[in-house]
Amino acid sequence: MNSEVMNIPKRIYELRDILGISASEVAQKLLVSEETYLKYESGELDIPISALYEIAEVLNVDPTVLLTGESPRMNSYSVTRKGKGVSVMRHPGYNYQSLSYNFAHRNMDPLLVTIDEDDKPKLVVHSGQEFNYVLEGKIKLTLGEKEIILSEGDSVFFDPSIPHGQSSVEGRSVFLTVIKE
C-alpha cells in the first residue's frame, strides 16, 4: 500500500479516536467483524470504497476528508481537470479517482476506475444505486450469481446491495462509476 493510501487508515483512526467512537461500534455499523475493521484501520487490509463511504458517515465527515485530509470547498460547481482528481491505488492493478471530491454536500460520487486484468474481483455491497459506463476495454461485472460483460460504450445501472465486483477482461480497462448512497 503506497504512502498516500496509508494516510487514509491513519486519518480514520485519528478521527475515530478524537470522537471517542470505539472500533467495535464502527465495525458493527459496517457489518464487519472488529478484527476486519481494525485491519482496515491499520492498513493491513484494503478498504473497499463502499466501506470508506460508510466510515465517513459514521465519523460524520465528507469522504474527501478521509481521502485528502481536507474538507471540500466548492458549493456551486467543481471542475476536475483530466488526471487531477484525487487518485487512490487500493492495490496493484486497481486505481480509482474521485471526480467530485471538492464539491461540498454532494449526494453522489462519480469515480474513474482503472483496473488491470483480474480473474476474481472482491465482491462488495453498499446501499443506494450504482451506474457503470465503460470508457476503455472490457469489464466483467459480477452481480450476485451473474457475470455481465460490458464493452466500450456499454453501461449498467444496478442495485449495489447485491454482492458485486468489476474486473477487466483482456488487459487494462477504464470505467466511470457513479455511486449514490
**Among 49-63, 86-100, 103-117, whose mean pLDDT is lowest?**
86-100
Give the model's pLDDT for residue 11.
95
| Inter-residue contact 149 to 169 (CB < 8 Å) | yes
pLDDT above 90 (res 94): no
- In the prediction, which pLDDT does 120 show? 75
- Distance CA(124)–CA(20), nearest Å, equals 28
d(CA 62, CA 57): 7
Q: The pTM is what?
A: 0.81
Convert the pLDDT of each residue in 2-38 to its tens digit: 556 678 999 999 999 999 999 999 999 998 999 999 9
Q: Does residue 91 have a pLDDT over 70?
A: no
Give me the pLDDT at residue 49, please.
Answer: 80
CATH number of 3-68: 1.10.260.40
pLDDT(45) > 90: no
Residues of the chain with CATH 1.10.260.40: 3-68
Report yes or no: 112 and 95 within 8 Å, Cβ to Cβ. no
In the numeric block, the cell 470505467 is attached to: 175
Q: Which helix (H) or strand (E) holds 56?
A: helix 49-58
CATH class of 107-180: mainly beta
- Check whether 1 has a pLDDT greater than 60: no
User: Does the pLDDT of residue 81 top 50, yes or no?
Assistant: yes
How confident is the model at residue 4, as a pLDDT? 63
Amino acid, res. 149: I
Distances (CA, A) of 132 to 98, 106, 150: 14, 18, 9
Task: Please report, as a single letter, which amino acid is at residue 112.
Answer: L
Which residues, other chains included, contact 97 with Cβ-Cβ below 8 Å and sequence gap of 6+?
85, 86, 87, 88, 111, 112, 113, 114
CATH code 2.60.120.10 region(s) in the chain: 107-180
SS3 55: helix
103-162 tens-digit pLDDT: 999 989 899 999 987 667 778 888 889 999 999 999 999 999 999 999 999 999 999 999
